[in-house]
Structure 1
């Protein structure tokens, strides 16, 4: 569904059609990320979850790396092909890739232990006992309002809402890097190509952070706090140096430094999995709730704080 909607974007003729497709796209995308986070928490133990979930998170960085490369190639070679602008080809090609991967995932992704058809009975029992020995409840029960209200009443949920939201907001520098570089005078294709090494570096950093936390027996708090301190320091540097009108070299160095934060939202969600490991339904609700708040807040702030006309300084004072 996701890929089909993306393929249809070039056919949009007015803002009403655009908003309709964006709404459908949001519906189709909304279940993917929290569903995958929940799935990882259902299959892996505390000393495995960090590495595995950050490999998944690194996929987002790799998509940024490959996406930047694809965007640059399409901008250079496909503008005007079959009478279509390069941005339309970008939607069509990336949408088709999503359709293919969706079909493959439908066949290969596991469900729960008892209904994953390509596992033997012995493998299902082993997988279930591994996580149960760590205190993870893998038994599904009927949802009730009591589950929702009890989850909303726990302070951990709201602390994680604040934490994950702030992590998401601090990723806007990379999201706007192409615009910043373009307005510093670089060609658009070059700006897209520059995303590739930055996101590759970010992917490697994400996997290392996950591996390191697992080696320390699932220590998430230290790693989250350390990365957030690092990111906060770099935002202060970029904001203070020359009133935000940074030299080009500092813009590039800052991009690599801040890219370490790109998968930290995913890392925080791994920790959230462990907060509610004893309650299957509370875990699923908590993951979906925190992710929804993060996405809504991030979108609203990005529109108001990162206005394209303010590029490349994005200075408000």
Structure 2
């Protein structure tokens, strides 16, 4: 449970700062676009339900279960995928993941029964498993800890950018392609938003490098400075936490389970936004699909600004834990207040903006805390375990909300329960890491 203090290899070294700028511009944009397509293919079912449920006769319970089954498939293959990435490299792993998830997402157009829906959602999660924790692991190969919160925030801001563009694009498809060539709008949506992932996977394979030593676009000096900084952090972590085999060490690490619960708690609130935002806006009196999409972009726009600002603040103050707990709890408070504003579209959008900003912005400092707490030996399996266990919230949250809606006609009780889980996660993080926060603040600061 001890938290390593990392020595700086050339703190303030302008070469490292310049190298990090090159790395950010090289790898973050393409990973950013990959994550947009990744999250889009995960949450576009929330927009599809606006037509799909009526067309196929699905009840809220069917939709909630189908949306959640994605995360059961995700759970089973998350850890093996991340271990495989460390062995064969990120390029091959990302190509495999993106090609399979793109084809499966597009195949959702053929769904006709609840069983079809359940199967395709399970397979989508199974094939997508490993992408997000794989990228988080990949960033640890390239980004020293002093830069990691902001780089992670840049990458993860794709979540909110997806929310900003998914609504208008999906609404446009639903509104204007419904009936074209004999297909419903929701069917066109899955095809148009799914297949580009296959092409981008090929581009990733051709464009990225697995590790800094392979990067021809870095000079020998830049490689040396970067590798020294990363190796200094890893050597201290190995001395402090040991260098046991990855899987066994990760399963024995108590912090993995603490972080998995915290991640579960944050996502329990976040997936309410992801899967139920379009329906919530529709029930506020907006019937036009394009207008629903445009309104749904507003909360994600607020969250995008918050995510970048919080990542910079976390690196600037060299503080991670409060940057997770405080915004997450503010997001939970907004969820609690949301049922009181069903009479007002404006107030509801304002609270949805606060909820989305708080919950999503807390994720980048969270992953900085988590990766800082795991040794090199634990990282591949540990990150994947946190992601797979935490993402079970994606099954629990829509399943509960779907049942609550079906039973009461309102999401209120479900919102209260999910908000309470978010607060428990914030409290667990602060209490469970009391002995490590001071050591974490001693991590080196490089030239910013």
Q: TM-score by structure 1 length?
A: 0.86
- 1:51 aligned partner: 150
Contact 1:173 1:255 in 2 (8 A): no
Q: CA offsets, 1:249-270, max 9 Å, x none?
A: 3211111111111242343122
Residues in 2 aligned to 1:197 and 1:238: alpha-carbon distance in whole angstroms: 16
Is residue 251 from structure 1 mapped to residue 348 from structure 2 by the alignment? Answer: yes
1:100 to 196, 199, 215: 199
1:294 counterpart = 2:390? yes
Q: Of 282, 293, 298, which residue of structure 2 is paired with 1:192?
A: 293
Distance apart, 1:121 and its partner CA: 4.8
In the alignment, which residue of structure 2 is the partner of 1:314?
A: 411
Distance 1:39 1:136 in 2: 18
In structure 2, stretches of 5+ residues that fail to align are 1-99, 415-448
Equivalent position SS for 2:412: coil
Question: What SS class does the counterpart of residue 209 from structure 2 fall into?
Answer: coil
Q: Distance in 1 between matches of 2:107 and 2:148?
A: 37
Deviation (angstroms), 1:271: 1.4
1:2-81 counterparts in 2 under 5 A? 2-81=101-180
Deviation at 1:211, TM superposition (A): 0.8
Partner of 2:365: 267
User: Which stretch has the larger CA shift, 305-314 or 189-198?
Assistant: 305-314
**Contact 2:145–2:372 (8 Å) recurs in 1:** yes
The DSSP-based 3-state class of the residue aligned with 1:43 is coil
CA contact under 8 A between 1:47 and 1:214: conserved in structure 2? yes
Q: How many residues align?
A: 307
1:172 aligns with 2:271: yes
Is the 1:148–1:285 contact (alpha carbons within 8 Å) kept by the matching residues of 2?
A: yes
- When residues 138 and 100 of structure 1 are mapped into structure 2, their CA distance, relative to the original with a 3 A threshold, is farther
Q: Which moved more, 1:4-13 or 1:84-93?
A: 4-13
Structure 1, unaligned runs of 5 or more: none
Equivalence for 1:203: 304
Q: Secondary structure at the match of 1:102?
A: helix
Counterparts of 2:377 and 2:269, CA distance in 1 = 30
Closer/same/farther in 2, CA of residues 204 and 107 from structure 1, 3 Å limit: farther
Q: Deviations over 1:150-203 (max 9, x none)?
A: 333333222212211111111134221211111222113321211222212211
Separation (CA, whole Å) in 2 of partners of 1:129 and 1:272: 22
Tell me the SS of whatever aligns to 1:185: coil
Distance 1:190 1:312 in 2: 23
Kindly indicate whether the alpha-carbon contact (under 8 Å) linking 2:334 and 2:352 is maintained by their aligned counterparts in 1: no
Give the structure 1 partner of residue 430 of structure 2. none
- Contact kept? 1:46, 1:214, Cα under 8 Å: no
Compute the displacement of 1:298 (Å): 2.8
Distance 1:136 1:36, change over 3 A: farther
Worse-superposed segment, 244-253 or 44-53: 244-253
- CA drift at 1:3: 1.2
TM-score normalized by the length of structure 2: 0.63
Q: Distance in 1 between matches of 2:107 and 2:329?
A: 42
CA distance in 1, matches of 2:262, 2:368: 13
User: What SS does structure 1 have at the residue aligned with 2:195?
Assistant: helix
Cα contact 1:7–1:91 (8 A) shared by 2: yes
Give me the CA root mean square deviation: 2.7
* Contact persistence 1:178–1:191 (CA under 8 A): yes
Cα distance change, pair 172–31 in 1 and its aligned pair in 2 (3 A): closer
Deviates more, 1:151-160 or 1:221-230: 151-160
Of 307, 311, 323, which aligns to 1:223?
323
